[in-house]
Chain A
Amino acid sequence: MPSQDAPSDWHTFPAMLCLRQLSGRSDTLQRAVDWTLAARAKHWKNPDPANLGHDTSLEGWSWVAGTHAWAEPTAYALMALEACGHADHPRAVEARTMLVDRAVAGGGWNYGNKMVLGTNLRPFPGTTGIVLTALRHRTEEPSVQAGIRYLQQQIRTVRSAMSLAWTIIALKLLAPDTFDAAGQTRVDEVTDAALTHTMNTSGNAHHLALVLLSTQQPERWPFNRQPAGANA
């Protein structure tokens, strides 16, 4: 486990998705799976549900070991475990419950809180897309359906590469009907614009990769759940 001064460790989860896609079974991937299942987030019995709004006893995964769990690292960890054949592990099951619990009122996900001091927080398209991708097998959940509706509104206006990419990925998986001819034309236009914008400004390779990934067919994505025993 990292020391108190160590850098954060959530990067392990997306790295696992890459390793699983690129090399399949490996000792490195097995160590990452073991580490993920052993990594603990701070969780406790909720002292003031009206103030925090979410169930703090659900563990999930944190950005930095030993701190409270948040939506994005939990979603990444869940997708990584599913891709490595651990979809039914108790921590994966709890992570889905935790993500559903953290949805904000009205649909979508903030960075992990639902409210602060009794005030409801706004959803973010990027976080919502990542969480919905992780919850793609829970479409019966009202919060998942509300999240889909939120993204279907956002896709008309979002222009940044990262948020747009996760919006497209989630909707392709959970609401492919969104992409009729007119919708696909709009997506093609904004995807091109986002790629150009990112290349002309930050040049952020992560954002470019996400946009390119979103243009692929879902069958080629690294999020697909693998049967038990298919991991490293």
Chain B
Amino acid sequence: MSGRSMDRRRFLQVSAGGVGAAAAVIGAKRVFAERHRVHIARASSYDIDLAALLHDGLRELGQLELLRGKKVLLKPNLVETAAHHAHINTHPAMVVAAAQVAAELGATEVTVAEGPGHRRDVELVLDESGLGTALNEHRLRFVDLNHDAVETVENRGAFTTLKQLTLPRTVLKADVVISMPKLKTHHWVGATLAMKNCFGIMPGLVYGWPKNRLHHEGINRSILDIVATVRPELAIVDGILGMEGDGPIMGTPKPAGVVVMGTNLPAVDATCTRIMQIDPAKVIYLAGCPSSIGHTDPSRIDLTGEAVRQCAMPFVMPPGKDDLRATV
């Protein structure tokens, strides 16, 4: 039985022996893959045919069958917002396009879900960000992960002191979780991308706001625990309009004009940092990422689409983070 043929909750029960047992259950090919494919697409604005762009990306990744017959959960990045601040949250057009592609490729169910770290009132963030309107127009279901029913599972990362993690039932029941972050700098960890976006999976009802319990455990260690335990199957990074400077909220818009996709989150995030001209070896959660989660070394990453050097541009770093810059 492959990991993808059972739901996430069943998988976590079966793999109670930890990462080693998990590899045996889901097959060494996926977790301990020697190489990861990452696709970079140019995208000048949110008005282009984003569904076609994402479809092409999945084809380049060899993943056109990834979503067929699956319950798909789209996890955008919604933190907080103010009117006309399109550089903070994953753009509604990206979320709608991903939902359309999932449906076209045979997903049986598509749910958009998020648990904002800075706001307990998710309805307000949906309203202010414009995502709520987009979801209503396209009749897409939304689940507030901060207040969802929860279940406790073994922490398969063991980077923090937490022996267990409490996860939303909606996430555990999903067959495919797609992390859909914004391409942004982050004042604590350097860059917030597909892996850091998984913080929003953790229920505030249990961990507080802004996921306070996990901050006390250490943001970098918590990121690795969450990714190792939840195992998102795909990342789609909205870098059409990113953020530089004092991210993830108070920074300034950075038009980067890219969408980055891949099935391995560390490989996707490492590629994104190279586009931002940040050295992934200096981003703690990427530098400390074990091979059981994925690879960040470019020699292990097969790029399709655009080359990094064609898209790379310097992002203004958050205060005190200039040491994370890559040597160009």
Residues of A that sit less than 8 Å from B by CB:
4-5, 7-8, 10-11, 42, 62-64, 66-68, 70, 72-73, 110-111, 116-119, 121-122, 124-127, 158-163, 197-198, 201-202, 204, 206-207
Which A residues touch B209, using CB under 8 A? Answer: 63, 70, 72, 111
Determine if B134 is an interface residue (Cβ-Cβ < 8 Å): no
Proximity string of chain B (90-125) to chain A, C-beta cutoff 8 Å, 1 when within and 0 when not: 000000000000000000000000000011110110
B187 in contact with A116 (CB, 8 Å): yes
How far, in whole Å, are A18 and B22 apart by their CA atoms in the complex?
Answer: 44
Asked if B158 is at the interface (CB within 8 A of a chain A CB), the reply is no
9 contacts between A and B (CB under 8 A): A4-B162, A8-B205, A8-B206, A8-B208, A67-B212, A126-B124, A160-B126, A163-B124, A201-B123
B130, CB-defined interface residue at 8 Å? no
Please provide the chain B residues from 120 to 170 with a CB less than 8 Å away from any CB of chain A in the complex: 120-121, 123-124, 126-127, 142, 144, 147, 161-164, 166
**Chain B, residue nearest A159 (CB):** B127
- Asked if residues B212 and A63 are in contact (CB atoms below 8 Å), the reply is yes
Q: How far is the CA of A158 from the CA of B204 in the complex (A)?
A: 22
Q: How far is the CA of A5 from the CA of B155 in the complex (A)?
A: 10
Closest-CB distance, B219 to chain A (whole angstroms): 13
Q: Give the docked Cα–Cα distance between A122 and B128 (Å).
A: 14
Q: Is the interface of A mostly helix, strand, loop or mixed?
A: loop
Residues on B with C-beta less than 8 A from A124 are 80, 119, 121, 124
Distance, CA A163 to CA B128, complexed state (A): 13
The answer to whether A160 and B127 touch across the interface, beta carbons within 8 angstroms, is: yes
B300 beta carbon closer than 8 Å to chain A:
no
Contact flag A198-B123 (CB < 8 Å), given A4-B162, A7-B166, A118-B319: yes
Q: Would A126 and B144 be within 8 Å (CB), given that A68-B212, A117-B320 are in contact?
A: no
Alpha-carbon gap, A116 to B79, bound state (A): 15
Contact, CB under 8 Å: A202 / B144? yes
Give the distance to chain A from B321, nearest Cβ to Cβ, in Å. 10
Residues on B with C-beta less than 8 A from A111 are 118-120, 209-210
Number of B residues with CB within 8 Å of any CB on chain A:
35
Contacts of B126 on A, CB cut-off 8 Å? 160
Residues of B within 8 A of A163 (CB): 121, 123-124
A118 to B216, CA, bound (A): 21
- B123 touching A207, Cβ below 8 Å: yes
Chain B 161-195 per-residue mask, 1 if CB under 8 angstroms from chain A, else 0: 11110100000000000000000000100000000
Asked if residues B144 and A204 are in contact (CB atoms below 8 Å), the reply is: yes
Task: List B contacts of A42 (CB < 8 A).
Answer: 216
Nearest CB in chain B: distance from A73 CB, A: 8
> Distance in Å from the Cβ of A184 to the closest Cβ of chain B?
22
Q: Which of B4-43 contact A (CB under 8 A)?
A: none
Most A-side CB within 10 Å, residue of B118, B161, B212, B318 = B212
Q: If the complex has contacts A5-B164, A8-B206, A117-B318, are A161 and B212 also in contact, measured as CB distance less than 8 A?
A: no
A70: which B residues are within 8 A, CB to CB? 208-209, 212
Residue of B at shortest CB range from A71?
B209
Residue of chain B at shortest CB distance from A113: B210
Is the CB–CB distance between B207 and A63 below 8 Å?
A: yes
Q: Give the most central of A63, A122, A158, A161: most B CB within 10 Å.
A: A63
Interchain CB contact under 8 A, B121 and A201: no
For B141, the closest partner residue in chain A by CB is: A201
B124 and chain A: residue at smallest CB distance? A160
Nearest chain-B residue to A4 (Cβ)? B161
**Are the C-beta atoms of A126 and B121 separated by less than 8 Å?**
yes
B166 (CB) vs chain A CBs: closest residue: A7
Taking a contact as CB atoms under 8 Å apart, the answer to whether B213 and A63 are in contact is yes
Residues of B contacting A126 in the complex (Cβ-Cβ under 8 angstroms): 119-121, 124
Q: Which of B166, B209, B320 has the most CB of A within 10 A?
A: B209
- Whether the Cβ atoms of B212 and A62 lie closer than 8 Å is yes
In the complex the two chains form, is B210's CB within 8 Å of A117's CB? no
